[in-house]
Amino acid sequence: MKSLVRNPKKPQARTLAMKTRILDAALEVFTKLGFESANLDLVATQAGCSRGAIYAHYASKEEVFLELRDHHLRAQFVAICSKLEKVSEFEKRRALFKHWMVGQIADPFWGVLMLEYKLYAIRYPEAREKLLSHYESFSAQSPISLIELLFGKNLSKPARAAIQRRMAVLGSTFSGLVLESRFHPDLLPPGKLEPFADEIFEVLIRPQP
């Protein structure tokens, strides 16, 4: 006789499988159309499911996009923080982080797509708050903050705030570099942006005196 007790893992596995299908489809749609031109009907068609199936897991296109971004970056971010924690010298940590950051521009798709989403978020405050919340959640993935890993714990409030501003400028400048290379690929070939990114990093993320 078959057991009447359902395996609690099976519904979870089905949910995970469906969400994976949706996110894979969303990646295809966002890649082809960008954020604003994409819609959940197209994602549903690509995933081979109904729009209702998507709404069973996500409340909006924004939520789909942010979870897709989350999947793309979270594992990488946790991994780099883990590597930094194992290095004792701050200068070596900084060099390791620079190598990781500069490597991010090798994927121009996300740089351009995030610029598009930020422009969208400027017009829609709720989307902006969700994105800021995602940024904050990344910092919570490591028991030690990224700034402390790179510069130590004994930072004054003004010094910490200055580093936070420089980190924000670094990310936006890298995104702008990727965008400009799409406009002027002859001047800034997409495969040769690393030296510029390296210089930008050295100017902005310098050791504390």
Claim to verify: residue 40 and residue 95 sit in the same structural domain: no
CB atoms within 10 A of CB 31: 11
Claim to verify: residue 117 and residue 86 sit in the same structural domain: yes
Instruction: Specify the DSSP class assigned to residue 48.
Output: T
Rounded to 10°, the helix 61-85/125-139 angle is: 20
pLDDT in tens, 27-51: 999 989 999 999 999 999 999 999 9
Residue 60 CA to residue 57 CA, distance in Å, equals: 9
Coil vs helix vs strand at 116: helix
What is the residue range of 33's domain?
Answer: 8-58
- Residue 209, in any domain of the structure: no
pLDDT in tens, 164-202: 999 989 988 998 898 899 889 999 998 889 999 999 999
Instruction: Specify the DSSP class assigned to residue 144.
Output: S
**pLDDT number for residue 25:** 95
Claim to verify: residue 139 and residue 43 sit in the same structural domain: no
Claim to verify: residue 44 and residue 66 sit in the same structural domain: no
- Residue 103, in any domain of the structure: yes
- Residue 74, in any domain of the structure: yes
Give the pLDDT band of residue 55 (cuts 50, 70, 90): very high
Residue 195 CA to residue 209 CA, distance in Å, equals: 25
**pLDDT number for residue 6:** 46
For residue 130, pLDDT beyond 70: yes
Give the pLDDT band of residue 14 (cuts 50, 70, 90): confident
CATH number for position 80: 1.10.357
